[in-house]
Amino acid sequence: MYILLAFVVLVAFGIFAQLLKVSIVEGPDLRARLKNNYVQERKITGERGTIFADDGSILAASTPLFELRMDFRAEGLTEEAFKNGVDSLAYYLAHYLDDKYTVGAWHERLVDAYEKGQRYFLLKKGVTYPKLAFLRKLPILRRGQYKGGFIIRKEDKRSHPFRMLARRTLGYVKEETKVGIEGSFDDYLKGDEGKEFMIKTPQGWVPQHNLEQVTPKNGADVYTTIDVNLQDVVQNALLRGLQYHDAKQGTAILMEVKTGAIKAISNIGKVQNGWAEVYNYGVGAATEPGSTFKLASMIALMEDDKVNLEDTVALNLGKKQFYDQELVDASAHGLEKTTIRHAFEISSNVGVASLIDSFYNHSDKERERFVNHLKDLYLHLPTGIELKGEALPYIKEPNSAVDQWSGITIPWMAIGYEEKITPLQLLNLYNTVANGGKMMKPYLVTDIKRNGKLIKHYKPTVISSRVISPKVVAKAKSLLEGVVERGTAKKLKSDFYRFAGKTGTAKIDYKSNKKSNKYQASFAGYFPAENPMYACIVVVYEPKAHGYYGGGVAGPIFREIADHCYLLNPELKYPINAHLAQLDKSKLPGWQVGYKKDVVKVTNEFEIPTKDLASDWAVFKTYNDVDTLFLLNRKMSKKIIPNVQGMGLKDALYLLENRNVKVRFKGNGKVIKQSIRGGTPAKGQTIYLRLG
């Protein structure tokens, strides 16, 4: 008995020691392994915020989709409840959820899962909310998670109601890659993360709502400066231009002059299946701009009072040797010399390069002065727009070994080579000229709100109130207007409004490949010229068909954008009474006939003195030495055909057709002759009117 007792005691001590070892020595490691293998804490995200256009239209939003599963070991899902509802549930799932399985197949799958006690049986992924609302009413599922085992997992899918519209600017967030507005404002849009615990089952990880859970906080909404109507105009105009010229890619940006707000930005590139926004060329691609850069060179000359625009510059028939390189004008003009103004208007490389070379290429101090002028225009700095990935501009420093400075650097820089700049950075220069020398920071976002409450507001930001002096701004504007009136863009002129700008054509990789036939066509400018509201730049990369010059490739796209802006925005239209002329009694509309209310509206608008003696229809009568328009009464019986001579077609049709008279007319203007005399009884006749 003592031996047996000793044996039991030893076994007990052994068990106790092993318990101590498992609990204290190996316990933390075992608990961690258990937790990692069977219980995990996972992060959950709230609904991502929405991105809005300037009028409240949704540009990007999260569409809720749902993953539906069933827990057949739910405590409330009794055998009786399952058997009573499985037939009906199988029918509805086959007809309304997934017809990949027949009713019989669904019934078999559900019964098999129930018998095996599956905890996380998949019904379907990517279910929309309306369909989910319907499924909640079905047998078994309507009992919920604990009584019916119905598990609902919410997923958010980012959708863009306007499809390709500004897609690259809106951007995306994928793991560590953050692009566009989505990427730049991700911290606001994504909200605060929550957490939940998941338990591992043979069928997968099942959420455990009875464990600790932290509800995520939904993201904030971002309001942009984008105008969806103008964005549509810019994108379609750019796409048509790229297709017509069979170009590789292109960008177009429309900016509000006074504020710097980007109203539209489109970046389109050729892909295997057509066209898409694959990269933000307007912000992220710095290239040699070509002749659109000549504006900066002219501003430098004018700020230093080096030239008068009516001075003469030698063009040498469009060819000139600079050190070991010959510079040639893009198109033959046959001019030995011309005015500086005209040289800029025809975009003479020889003319502009010669001027900059003669004034800024004789000493290090002169070269440094020219480069400093470019820096004064902020061409060496990024704009600071909110989007990630803005390319840094590249302006060479004088006599820098790293920058490979040479004797031709200054004249080549003058015409847009040997420096790199993005379309947005160059557009900001043109916008500054349009804005009277005040430089604004380009921006895309105005407000950030959560549940309608303002979190942050972005105001228009002035980079510098005077980047260009007023006298130089006036001269620069006259140069840009001259390009459209008489220069390389004269074919683009509009009869309805005036705009100003500069064409640009740059040869791509001209240094590394002398035989390169790849070009970059551009046009930068603003409109209307008298009181600029919008500045715009268009850049087309590697056009292959129908030309490659800026005036013929990028210019028409600019013009199409400007035309549509003119039609869409009443503020761009010049009011007909902006400069009301002195009243001339000889031009008052005597002996014409019309509806009195229409006449009174016009006379009031133009402040014409009127003597009203009419009821509904009036004859306009003037008298010598009297600056007054008399409205005399014209009687119109409803039973007879009226005399409509002197009336406009609108009034004549109204009167005749209300008397059941059929009208045929020919010509334009007012009625000068009618086939049936006034006073004839109206009996449904057909009357012929001649207008003139």
pLDDT (tens digit per residue) in 152-211? 887 778 888 777 777 888 888 887 788 899 999 999 998 777 666 666 655 555 665 554
Q: How far is CA 69 from the centre of its chain?
A: 41
Range of the domain at 643: 588-691
* pLDDT the model gives residue 591: 46
Give the separation between CA 115 and CA 163, rounded to whole angstroms: 46
Answer yes or no: are the C-beta atoms of 81 and 110 closer than 8 Å. Answer: no
* pLDDT the model gives residue 613: 62
Give the separation between CA 143 and CA 84, rounded to whole angstroms: 13
624 shares a domain with 553: no
* pLDDT the model gives residue 215: 63
430 shares a domain with 298: yes
CATH code of the domain in which 626 resides: 3.30.10.20
* pLDDT the model gives residue 671: 84
Paired tokens of 296: 């900066």
CATH code of the domain in which 78 resides: 3.90.1310.10
Structural domain includes residue 546: yes
CATH code of the domain in which 293 resides: 3.40.710.10
Q: Extract long-range pairs of 447-452: CB within 8 Å, 24+ residues apart.
A: 447/222, 447/223, 448/185, 448/188, 448/220, 448/221, 448/222, 448/223, 449/220, 449/221, 449/223, 450/49, 450/218, 450/219, 450/220, 450/221
Structural domain includes residue 329: yes
293 shares a domain with 365: yes
Sole residue written with tokens 């086959």: 94
Examine the fold and report which residue of 223, 257, 286 is the final residue of a domain before the chain moves on.
Answer: 223
* pLDDT the model gives residue 580: 47
How crowded is residue 58: how many other Cβ atoms within 10 Å of its Cβ? 15
Structural domain includes residue 642: yes
Give the separation between CA 37 and CA 22, rounded to whole angstroms: 18
512 shares a domain with 395: yes
52 shares a domain with 161: yes
Structural domain includes residue 298: yes
Weakly modelled stretches of the chain, pLDDT under 70:
29-45, 194-216, 511-515, 573-596, 599, 606, 611-615, 617-627, 629-636
396 shares a domain with 311: yes
Q: Which of 598, 594, 621 is nearest to 610 (CA)?
A: 621
For the chain, the farthest-separated pair of C-alpha atoms sits apart, in whole angstroms, at 149
Give the separation between CA 321 and CA 308, rounded to whole angstroms: 24
Examine the fold and report which residue of 572, 598, 614 is the final residue of a domain before the chain moves on.
Answer: 572
> In degrees, to the nearest 5, what angle opens at C-alpha 345 toward C-alphas 343 and 348?
40
550 shares a domain with 606: no
* pLDDT the model gives residue 211: 46
550 shares a domain with 486: yes
Q: Which of 478, 507, 495 is nearest to 559 (CA)?
A: 495
Sole residue written with tokens 């046959």: 334
Give the separation between CA 163 and CA 266, rounded to whole angstroms: 13
Examine the fold and report which residue of 207, 223, 239 is the final residue of a domain before the chain moves on.
Answer: 223
Q: Which residues of 586-611 are buried (b: 16+ CB within 10 A; e: fewer)?
A: eebbeebbbbbeebbeebeeeebebe
* pLDDT the model gives residue 315: 95
444 shares a domain with 324: yes
Q: How far is CA 89 from the centre of its chain?
A: 48
Structural domain includes residue 16: no
568 shares a domain with 613: no
pTM metric for this prediction: 0.72
Structural domain includes residue 122: yes
Answer yes or no: are the C-beta atoms of 522 and 553 closer than 8 Å. Answer: no
Helix H or strand E segment including 603: helix 596-605
Structural domain includes residue 173: yes
Structural domain includes residue 547: yes
- The total of structural domains in the chain comes to 3
663 shares a domain with 538: no
* pLDDT the model gives residue 213: 56
* pLDDT the model gives residue 685: 86
594 shares a domain with 547: no
